[in-house]
A and B are shown apart, each in its own frame.
Chain A
Amino acid sequence: SQTIHQWPATLVQPVGSPLSLECTVEGTSNPNLYWYRQAAGRGLQLLFYSVGIGQISSEVPQNLSASRPQDRQFILSSKKLLLSDSGFYLCAWKSSGNTIYFGEGSWLTVV
């Protein structure tokens, strides 16, 4: 069966520090992968998506970047965090049946 792993689950980072969130999917190949952000009490905002290795589409201009170095690995990064980058970051993948499943998320607090 397919599973999605996302880490770290929680992190507190100072303003100006770098960020790396990692997501891997098991049990499938060449899935569409997504990074979403959810601000407190809000819906999900799509940040990046990827339809294949090295293919990244950005939805929102911001302080973040994404990379897909391997088929089932998706990484969200920042060189210098801002206070406004705080939030709940969710990785997701699309199944062959066109359903989209989410990981457990990473809580980021920038202080």
Chain B
Amino acid sequence: DAGVIQSPRHEVTEMGQEVTLRCKPISGHDYLFWYRQTMMRGLELLIYFNNNVPIDDSGMPEDRFSAKMPNASFSTLKIQPSEPRDSAVYFCASSLGPGATEAFFGQGTRLTVV
């Protein structure tokens, strides 16, 4: 398996633009997580899905952020409109069903909002 695949690897956008980050989890994994990594706050959980259903989105910073998982092999994280403070590395991770002991991370998307 190729692991968790994220795209793009790097994204530079202007303030106010819409940004869409993409993730393909490992096949067979029931859980998908979106994390944001910054120097100040480390790895923050934004939202996670179980069997394509959002379970907890309490980490989503504000309404400008939205996430979808239309099927078991694809998820998106959208920021609209983007702001400079959204600049960070965004990771997608997936894991097996309940009781899983490992989250497998993608390589991340480095987002820069200018």
The reply to whether chain A is a binding partner of chain B is no
